[in-house]
Amino acid sequence: MKILVNDGISAKGVEAMENAGFEVLNINVSQNQLKNYINQNNIDVLLVRSATQVNEELIEACPSIKIIGRGGVGMDNIDVEYAREKGIEVINTPDASSRAVAELVFAHLLGMSRFLHETNRNMPMEGDTNFKGLKKAYSDGIELKGKTLGILGAGRIGKEVAKIAIAMGMKVIACDPYLEDFSVSLEFFDGKTLSFDINIISKEDLLKQSDFISLHIPAQEGYLISTNEFDLMKDNVILVNASRGGLVDEIALIKAIEDGKVLHAALDVFETEPTPEIQLLMNPSLSLSPHIGAATVEAQDRIGVDLAEQIIRISTDLI
């Protein structure tokens, strides 16, 4: 089988595929050239991340494709239903990047709680001339222990976020229309485990009770968080979206910051990605990252190997 890896994959993933006897083309083909490339090279497997759009038109035009793989969780850039109607296997790696995303959430939360996203901007400019002033300005940070974290969407990533929060001494509540109350298990360095119960509550109650809110919802029509939702939140709430762009109304977010409702917010994803609005990029109350939730060495290795194992298993069935 011939595999086109169009949005990149780890060396371990390539190695696993090549060791299984597959030909791996680890290159990036532009969207407008993709159809021709697939047909000219008789590609059997197309692997993508979030950049490449695998729509009905592309699927229809490329009859050689037998497997479409998404390195990551969400598959909103793939016409999954149409592909499966055509008999194409569609796979993803829902478990591989959960921990990486969860740790990024807390990188943002810890940074915002101590104003690190601002001090890292201002220390290089004023550290030698206004050290005492900066120290005074950033001396009212807050601790996460004892605070309430509300998780909107308690799937794999949401559960990983809950584990870290519990380990840090936070109270965790969650909202998920597909789940009832659930438990998470924390695994420690010495092999011991402890289980903790998490309550599922309504979205409205979660917004009212949470000191920190983290979003872990698939792409959807319309905003999950907009003006009405911000009005329900506590004053000085801190919000993180490392899920999907378009879940948070960015105009309403800026206003909520200006009105003092939101103390800080972190965005790893954006409505107009890959060209975020300048008012977001320049706002000192925002902690920003360029959609790197799953971008750790370990997660990329897990994604690559996971895809390879699934392709090997499916190819055996196809023979």
Tokens of 37: 């490339």
Burial pattern 210-248, b for ≥16 Cβ within 10 A else e, equals: bbbbbbbbeeeeebbbbeebbebbbeebbbbbbbbbbbb
List 103, 273, 277, 309, catalytic entry: 273
Residue labelled with tokens 């939730």: 293
The Cα 219–Cα 206 span in angstroms is 20
List 49, 117, 264, 291, catalytic entry: 291
Tokens of 291: 């959609």
Instruction: Classify 133 as helix, strand or coil.
Output: helix
50 contacts 71 by C-beta, under 8 angstroms: no
84 is catalytic: no
If residue 68 lies in a helix (H) or strand (E), which one and from where to where?
strand 67-70
DSSP code per residue over 202-264: -HHHHHHH-SEEEE-----SS-SBSHHHHHHSPTTEEEEE-S-TTSB-HHHHHHHHHTTSEEE
What are the percentages of helix, strand and coil residues in the chain, rounded to 5?
40, 20, 40
List 244, 250, 264, 302, catalytic entry: 244
Measured torsion, CA atoms of residues 175, 276, 29, 312, in degrees rounded to the nearest 10: -20
Tokens of 208: 């009212």
* Selection from 204, 209, 261, 251 nearest residue 226 by Cα: 251
122 contacts 134 by C-beta, under 8 angstroms: yes
302 is catalytic: no
The Cα 235–Cα 255 span in angstroms is 13
57 is catalytic: no
Instruction: Classify 156 as helix, strand or coil.
Output: helix
CA–CA–CA angle 76, 226, 272 (5° rounding): 45
Active site residues: 244, 273, 291
